[in-house]
């Protein structure tokens, strides 16, 4: 496992963003772990999160001209990623959307830099892919090109069919989906910790049943 992935899992556990136990998902499944980026809820935590996103993007070597954050979760995410990436690699513009177009002042649906060129969507996770589809429509309408999606966690979990939501998005739009970590990374992390064997068995059983 790459060192930054290991550090991110450790950090997510410290911030209680990643928890182990029994959690009911929207799908009705009982998951042995839960991941909530909303708990990166201080300036320092958000700053560190942006650095992990930027590191994952640098490792991917994906080229992009602009970062796009879908409202609402994507707004702080795209902001912190743009800051971190400017400090680590390159200063890149960013933009995010409003849920409802503004009909006064400068007006419009988008806030930030002009949406043009190769666009990377910044989000937390992909569950049903709805946010990505809405973002793609906005990107296409602006005349920009979709470069890929950058997320924090790939659950590597089957959706309604045998493919995961990430796989479906990647194939539908013919783009890479980059994640800081995946379920496989969490499994590997637990394998390296002798005290986590009980959790490891439960997660492996879940992975065997629902994983892709």
Rounded Cα distance, 98 and 100, in Å: 5
Burial of 171: CB neighbours in 10 Å, binned 0-12, 13-18, 19+? exposed
- Catalytic site includes residue 161: no
Which residue blocks in the chain are alpha helix, DSSP H?
3-14, 43-60, 74-88, 130-141, 165-173, 183-191, 197-210
Separation of alpha carbons 7 and 91, rounded Å: 25
Taking Cα atoms as reference points, which of 45, 75, 41, 59 lies closest to residue 3?
Answer: 59
The catalytically annotated residue of 73, 102, 161, 204 is: 102
**Measured between alpha carbons, how far is residue 143 from residues 40, 75, 109, 140 in Å?**
33, 21, 14, 5
Taking residue 9's Cβ as centre, other Cβ atoms within 10 Å add up to: 21
Answer yes or no: 104 catalytic.
yes
45, 104, 201, 204: the catalytic one is 104
Active site residues: 102, 104
């Amino acid at each position: 496992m790459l060192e930054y992935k290991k550090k991110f899992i450790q950090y997510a556990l410290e911030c209680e963003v990643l928890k182990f136990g029994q959690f009911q998902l929207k799908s009705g499944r009982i998951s042995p772990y839960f991941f909530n980026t909303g708990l990166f809820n201080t300036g320092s935590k958000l700053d560190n999160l942006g650095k992990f996103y930027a590191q994952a993007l640098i490792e991917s070597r994906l080229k992009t001209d602009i970062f796009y954050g879908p409202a609402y979760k994507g707004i702080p995410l795209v902001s912190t990623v743009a800051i971190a990436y400017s400090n680590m690699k390159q200063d890149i513009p960013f933009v995010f959307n409003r849920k409802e177009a503004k009909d006064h002042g400068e007006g419009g649906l988008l806030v930030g830099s002009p949406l043009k060129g190769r666009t990377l969507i910044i989000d937390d996770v992909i569950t049903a892919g709805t946010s990505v589809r809405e973002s793609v429509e906005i990107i296409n309408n602006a005349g920009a090109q979709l470069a890929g999606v950058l997320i924090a966690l790939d659950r590597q979990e089957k959706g309604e069919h045998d493919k995961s939501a990430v796989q479906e998005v990647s194939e539908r739009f013919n783009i890479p989906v980059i994640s800081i970590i995946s379920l496989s990374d969490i499994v590997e992390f637990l394998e390296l910790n002798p005290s986590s064997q009980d959790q490891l068995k439960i997660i492996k059983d879940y992975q065997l049943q629902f994983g892709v």
